[in-house]
Structure 1
């Protein structure tokens, strides 16, 4: 059983799913995660969280957002990750229960491997003609990490919602 409450997960899932799809598409297309999508993800938690989470848990989850934002800013300044990825991680942090971190890291590892392999295969296949102007095809070393991050968050919330 996951630590994220199934009722909360069912309420969060439609928002996480739609925003996650947009983040994936945007990162693939332009190698950018728009600020608006990150703000909407955080706002969905801020607005909906008090209705489905106990106040103590809700408050601690908001602290997760702040801590991850600071960590992300440091990692961005050190050029370890992009600013969009750091902001997305911060906005996603409140949705994740600390007790589920081991599972979230396993999901993230799997989604990174799957997204990277799929992206590179599509880049060198006729599928590329479906979106020939995507910037992620032309960057040789960069990878649109928002795809893996949003997929991992969506899978985690979906698992919590339906288990």
Structure 2
């Protein structure tokens, strides 16, 4: 019995190609900052949201643009609740909300699988490096010192970046 994986995504290739060059550096910024300081800067979240607002108007039909902004609000409300329950950090909630409009709603299932894989890989890699000599390459990173905490910006930024890259190749 063969396993078949459908990589086709609802995001258009044009969307992904337009967003990616602007979004990927912000994803790297958030990941690096969370690894080094255990904080996702508010500026990175604002820049990410601004990129969507400015570029989204050019690439999305107006009704889709509006629905994507609703996604931002819904994810922000869920994130605030999750933060209040202590499930994730405020920066994680804000970054996830700012990232939400870049995701085509019909890709939610694929995105969740991608995110789960990214979290597993991120935790394994971070913990693996933390307990080896490789951690000496960045000895002052806060994420090495925080026991029981994980820099989720690594996985949130990584997931959005990988999604957009996949969208360039497998988008509609």
More helix by share: 1
- Give the match for residue 121 of structure 1: 128
The residue correspondences of 1:1-163 to structure 2 (distance < 5 A) are: 1-163=8-170
Superposed CA RMSD? 0.7
SS at match of 2:40: coil
How far apart in 1 are the matches of 2:75 and 2:154?
19
- Quote the offset at 1:2 in angstroms: 1.1
Which whole-Å deviations, capped at 9, do the CAs of 1:46-95 have from their partners, x for residues lacking one?
Answer: 00001011111001000101111111111111111100000011000001
Deviation at 1:151, TM superposition (A): 0.4
Secondary structure in structure 1 of the residue aligned to 2:36? helix
Question: Number of paired residues?
Answer: 163
Instruction: Report Cα offsets for 1:101-120 as digits up to 9, x if no partner.
Output: 11000110110011100000
Distance 2:83 2:144 in 1: 23
Unpaired segments ≥5 residues, structure 2: 1-7
**4+ residue runs over 4 A deviation:** none
Which structure 1 residue ranges, 5 or more long, are not aligned? none
TM-score (normalised: structure 2): 0.93
* TM-score, length basis structure 1: 0.98
